[in-house]
Chains A and B, each alone.
Chain A
């Protein structure tokens, strides 16, 4: 038990992403409304984005822009002064992917609503069963 709390505190970002991910997964599995499922899916994706963003972080580091970088000759860049920008850039792409997935999913939800006049999954399934 005494080991657990320091471990939780030291790596809280990982625990946070796992908790968020499980909330999203729970919503996708357990919720009956399709829009709630979609929101769960979005939470799931966001948790992974947060995970990536947090791994680029360093204690005491600033934004990765070299001050007076131009025309000052070659000076050594102290890597501990800057956060790693690559995971953040990757996540820009992942955000685009997640937004477009959400858009496609909402369009599908509209089509489903037009067809069945409901977004509750059990009602839709009940309507499909007799055939």
Chain B
């Protein structure tokens, strides 16, 4: 059984997805337990797989027993083992946390929702484990298609936002496919390791350059990298809260992982940094992404929309870190995949809890929330401190690595952008804290009415939120261990000199 973990962790949610969609016709009540089983098994297998990888080194899995360059191979090292655990565990936590919200927001569509939820997990997890370029495209589209449908479950402008996302996402997917086609013409192979071994002789070929650029543009659209980000704020704002807390932390992070995988394992570092002189422009683009994301976040009047622009600026952190071209920057980028996924899910789960109680997320509606929902707001503040980068929380450590890397690489513009966005985040979060802590007081005083009663979110929604926000601090404290055991083994030796 041990050796089959890579396949099992995809099969279990996939099978459950079919069961759920069938069972939805017979008994609605059974959909949720089945989804929990599917997602829980996936999380369990991925944790076991990571433990296996840490003990025995990289795991290679051949589907159907076909040898590597011909069959589809799964390839798990500590980098994607970590991303795998992040994806599957956070998806599971979110599934439990949003149960009440889903039942309240679209009770008649539970079957469809849980089917799509499980298929989305399949897409993401598959993208992370696969060692095959075309397989990655298919799973990318599985994840994207389910996310279009999930976002369209929302109210008001959600279908329109989802259709715009679909247009952009399809263009992105097609560019990636085109890049893979060019690579296939040049090497005749689709297996990542095989392509990597065939490429060095033809690094000078312009077709390989174009292939890389196409893949990069495609992945850039899907991760909402700055000039290609326009679909993200609308799609994630109008999505139901259960959906945005699933997609926002995971989809973009997985795409960053895919970019790093392409840079490290398919086109090796020699090509990405020495042959192709893209490092400087990419770091500058990320600088722009960080500054623009932070500035646009300041202009938002809706809590969720503000988070969306924060996500865009965080994408800039990770892309910039990966393109700095030194060990510290790459470590920071990989560590930030983990940290940012945790921070974003905490923020969006807190927003979901607030929406569950007050049915709105405009900033002026948040008055007096500290008195009404103290625990939710405490978690919100923890996540806020982490996004700002205050020491005991995990956000500080990845930012530290990124700034160290930027200083080593001499990219002072990137350092300035990181500091600028930290300052803007201080303003963003303290503005929310001010409104929700002091906002209700004058109001209550003026009318002489008693303060509003405590209406904390139900325990099933609150416990997962507390778990992830404790996670923010715990991960922060164990950063050293995570870096030495998980990230250091995947940093290429060429960077460590």
Contact = CB atoms under 8 A, between A and B. Distances in A.
Given A112-B160, A112-B163, A115-B159, A44 B171 contact: yes
Contact of B185 (A55, A90, A115): A55
A112 B149 CA distance: 13
B170 A44 contact: yes
A45 B152 contact: no
B138 A108 contact: no
Interface string B168-185: 001101100110010011
Contacts of A128: 157
Contacts of B178: 48, 51
A43 to B, nearest CB: 11
Nearest to B144: A101
Nearest to A25: B171
A90 to B, nearest CB: 6
Contact of B163 (A44, A52, A105): A105
A117 interface: no
A34 B157 contact: no
A5 to B, nearest CB: 21
Contact of B145 (A37, A55, A94, A104): A104
A41 B159 contact: no
A52 B170 contact: no
Contact of A94 (B149, B152, B160, B177): B177
Interface in A83-114: 87, 90, 93-94, 97, 100-101, 104-105, 107-109, 111-112
Contacts of A41: 167, 170-171
A131 B171 CA distance: 30
A112 B166 CA distance: 14
A87 B171 CA distance: 20
How big is the B interface, by class?
Answer: 20 to 34
A57 interface: no
Interface residues of A, number: 28
A63 B149 CA distance: 39
Nearest to B162: A108
A93 B72 CA distance: 14
A124 interface: yes
Given A48-B181, A51-B178, A111 B159 contact: yes
B148 interface: yes
A107 B158 CA distance: 13
Contact of B159 (A87, A93, A108): A108
Interface string A73-89: 00000000000000100
A72 B177 CA distance: 39
6 contacts: A28-B171, A55-B181, A55-B185, A90-B134, A97-B138, A109-B163
Interface of B: 134, 137-138, 141, 145, 148-149, 152, 157, 159-160, 162-163, 166-167, 170-171, 173-174, 177-178, 181, 184-185
Given A45-B174, A115-B159, 16 more contacts: A25-B171, A28-B167, A28-B171, A41-B170, A41-B171, A44-B170, A48-B178, A48-B181, A51-B181, A55-B181, A55-B185, A87-B181, A87-B184, A97-B138, A104-B149, A107-B152
